[in-house]
Each structure stands twice: as C-alpha cells, then as structure tokens.
Amino acid sequence: MKNMKKKIIGAIGILLAAAIYYYVTLPAINIHAVGFWFFIMLLIVAVMGYYIARKRLALNELKESKAVKGFLTALLVVVAVYLVGSVLSSPIINAKKYQQLLKVEDGEFTKDIEELSFDQIPLLDRASATLLGNRKMGSMIDMASQFEVDEIYSQINYNDKPVRVSPLKYASPIKWLTNQADGIPAYIMIDMATQTTELVKLESGIKYSTSEYFNRNIYRHLRFNYPTYIFGELSFEIDEEGVPYWVCPVKKFSIGLFGGETVGRVVLCNAITGETLDYAIKDVPQWIDRAYSADLLVALYDYHGTLKHGFINSVLGQKDCLVTTDDYNYLAINDDVWVYTGVTSVSGDQSNVGFVLMNQRTMETKFYAIEGATEHSAMDSAEGQVQNLKYEATFPLLLNISGEPTYFIALKDNAGLVKKYAMVNVQKYQVVGIGDTVGECEKEYQELLLKEGIQIVEDNREMDSITGVITKIAQGVVDGNSHYYIMIEGSDDIFDVSVVEHLDIIRYEIGQEITMEYKIDENVNVVLSIK
C-alpha cells in the first residue's frame, strides 16, 4: 500500500511538471511541431529519471534494468524519427518541391503598379512610426504611467489609407495587476502618408494581448482553443469599424515532417472579447492584410530563385541562382498589402535583375524583369545628394512615376525625423530628385527625367507654312542661343527662328519676302525651316 502511494505521488509529480512545462512553452500537439518532439523527449527523460530515483538503481544496475533499456530505446526512437524527419524534410532532399512552393508570374509594371496620389504613399518607415507612436504616448499624461506602446506596428490598409497600428501594453507586472480588470484602453494608429498619429480609445478594453500573463495571454488563449495548430507570426489589425483583432496564421507543412512551410488557415481573435473565427486561407476576409509574413514570403522566393537546378547547384555552381536583396518594404495595391523586394544574383553585385511583389493575404507573386541599381545603391545615391546634411536614407519604396520604376526614399536626421524626400531612377540611379516635400521632390525628378532624355515630351502641335513680307525683326537670347523673332505682313503671329538651327535668317531684313514652315503654338510659332 505504501509502495502504491509513492507511485501515485510520483505520477502526479511528473504530470504536474509536464503540465507546467506545457503551460509555459505551449507546444502544439502536432507531429509537424518541433516543440512537440522535444516535449516527448523531455517527458521520457523525466519518467526514466523518476524510475531510477525511486528504484535507487546503482550505476551497474542501470545496465541490467530492462525498464531503463526500454526508456532509452523509446528515447532513441523518438530522436531518430526527429533527425530522419528533419533530413527528409530539408531542401537537400526535396529541392524541386521547395522550388515549387511559390508560384511566380511575370508582371507588367505600368499596368500592375499605378501612379499613386501623395495621400496614398507611405512616407514613413517602421522606425519613424515607432518614434511618432512613442511621442504620442508620452503626451498622454493619464496613460503614460500605466501603459507603453507595443513594438508590433503592423502596416495595413485602413479605409484606403496606409497606416500602422499597434496596441498598448502594460508598463510592468504591477501595472498589469492594477489595470488588467479593465484591459488595455486604446491602440495607436499612424497615417503613413500624412504622419498623423492618433490614440484610438476603446469603449471596452483589450483583454487579450501579448502583455497578459496567464490565460488571457494571446498565445495561451490560442493554444487552449486550438491545441493542434502551429501558429506563425501574429499581427495586430483593425477591421473597417476600427475593432482590433489578432490575425493568427496557421502553419502548413507539405514536405515531410517539418518542411515546406506555408499557411493553411487563419484564426481571427477579437482582441477585446477573445472570440475566435477559423478560416481556410482561401476564405480569409478581404479586410485582412497580413496572413503571410514578409519573412516567410521572402524565404519562399529565395527557394524559388536558388533551387531551379537542384540543391548542389545552389551551393556550388550557382547557375541561374537569384535571391532577394537584404531588406523589403510594403506597397498598397487594390486594398491589399504587397511585400516589395529587389532580386539580384547570388554573387551579390550592385545591380538588380528585377524585383518581386508578394501579396500578404493571398501569396500571389509577380516578378518584374527591370534591371537597375540595388536598393542600397539607390540609398547611397540619395544620401550623396545631401551629404553635407548627413541625413540617413530609409529603405526605398517602389513607385511608378510617369511610367518609370522609381525608388522613393525618405531622408532622416540624427533624431529620426524625416527632413527631405528623394526619388531615384531604378535603371539610372544617378538621376536623383530631392525636395522638402513630396511635391517638390517629384517636380525636380520629372525635370531630370526630361533633361536626361529618359522621357521625351511628345510634340502634338500642328504644322503649317506661310509666305509673306517681313514687317518686324527682333533679336533675343534663350539659354545662351540667339533667336530672331519675326512678324509677317497680314499676320499678327510671332515666329521664333533659332539662329543656331537656321543660320540663313541673318541674311533677311525688313521688307524682304520669306517662306517658313512652323509649328503652331498659342504664343510663339516655332519655325522648322525657311526658304
């Protein structure tokens, strides 16, 4: 009886330790979850340790114990399955499958990326948004001592505007203890185009967040509701009415035990009530902007670009191997958020072979074969235009400016405040327009496009000819070149004759007859030839 009591107490102790471990680490009960396999391994080790301690086995007795041998065999089997599963799930064995995880289509730049109005262009990067959010929070005297801004700052489209949103969080465990009954009272919303920062107060506080400590912690809440789901990186979003939600992508593994990670489902969790909705990825509501994280999409494209000719080629020969550049940014297109990043060769040269756009809701991916400078080369070029001011360039945003692929870059001072803007031509990154406002920047950039011959203004003026006697001649200088301005008898029009292009004009005087072909203009007709 006494021996049975010890066994029961030991079993309860092991179960309690396992429960605490599960409560803290939250492994998914799923064979595709790495944490689940470690949980099983630790459980076997714990049971074996308890058995050895209860039996008080000496070292020489361990070798003879059938029970210990059974535990070790079970542990080795679990470890072996994990290791073999890892190898069989890797790109080394499944290069073709990894390469085909992402379907990439060729896109048409001017068709897919329309010219945006200035109120749709996100002028801030995440660091600048964080700075504005913290400053706004610091100005809220009634909340600043109790709450801080969470570091999430998800970029979404809200009412056709690019914004970043982030919930508040408890400033400390003590602040959590005194405020958790009412929850978190607000979230921060920053308009990325106008730089307007708003603290949105809620009628009912956020009860489920990353800063909760027990069952209302969002990760624990999700785990207890969906014990088999393997969740990816969570994002904080708001619907059309401004109601806060946690968007929780559920990982899907299609290659072996641990390989071929994509997203199969999305769980929506109302941050106020904790109510959850479970969607297949194809049924996700339109207002959700981020089912696939940017890092996951970039990793999938890198598999697509490097594994075309197998794994060995991706390491040694590297024929036709392409990778994404060092960073990424976001574009708002048709109420979706797309990840933008350049594509370059694995040799790491200073030029891109093109760029990709990847939809964070649908995983749709388009490649644009436009060669040009890498983003960091464009950033260096922009900084070079204001090197005396020592401004720092943010990672570019890709825009369509008059049909030209253009890097749009904010230039910040040492305090992290945006002071100027730059537009850098992707294909000719020496062409850089700088301005204190976006409008000034675009105007200078447009002028440079014309000056450098990248764009040509079409001349749609009609042609005509005239013959008559010269009644007036006046001389002028335009851009350092001499021009004659002529009037003809019977006409009130003025005709502009470039001396450089039509040297014979100096032979004519008032009273002589002249025949000219010209372009009709509202102010001064430009002469094309004289006879």
Domain-by-domain residue ranges, the chain?
2-88, 122-291, 373-451, 463-530
Q: Is 6 helix (H, G, I), strand (E, B) or coil?
A: helix
H or E segment and range at residue 332: strand 329-333
Looking at residue 363, the DSSP 8-state letter turns out to be -
Q: Residue 10 pLDDT > 70, yes or no?
A: yes
Tell me the torsion sign for CA atoms 111, 117, 118, 123.
Answer: negative
Q: Give SS3 for 437.
A: coil
Measured at the alpha carbon of residue 79, what is the angle toward residues 99 and 36, in degrees to the nearest 5? 75
* Per-residue model confidence (pLDDT) at position 2: 62
More confident residue, 451 or 206: 206
pLDDT at 135 > cutoff 70: yes
Question: To the nearest whole percent, how much of the chain has pLDDT over 90?
Answer: 64
The total of other beta-carbon atoms located within 10 Å of residue 302's CB is 19
Residue 457 has pLDDT above 70, yes or no: no
pLDDT band of 66, cuts 50, 70, 90 = confident
pLDDT at 270: 97
Pick the CATH number of 463-530 from 3.40.640.10, 3.40.190.10, 2.30.38.10, 2.40.50.140: 2.40.50.140
Name the pLDDT band for 479 (thresholds 50, 70, 90): confident
What string of H, E and C letters represents the secondary structure of 31-60?
Answer: CCCHHHHHHHHHHHHHHHHHHHHHHCCCHH
Residues 145-187: tens digit of each pLDDT: 899 999 999 999 998 889 999 999 999 999 999 999 999 999 9
pLDDT of residue 341: 94
pLDDT at residue number 1: 61
pLDDT at position 458, please? 63
Question: Strands 495-498 and 525-530, how do they pair?
Answer: parallel
Work out the burial of residue 104: count CB atoms within 10 Å of its CB; fewer than 13 is exposed, 13-18 middle, 19 or more buried: middle
Helix (H) or strand (E) holding 425: strand 418-425
Q: Is residue 459 very low, low, confident or very high in pLDDT (cuts 50, 70, 90)?
A: low
CB 411 within 8 A of CB 382: yes
Length of the chain: 531
Q: 70-127 pLDDT, tens per residue?
A: 999 999 999 999 999 999 999 999 999 999 999 999 998 888 888 877 777 888 888 8
Confidence of residue 266 (pLDDT cuts 50, 70, 90): very high
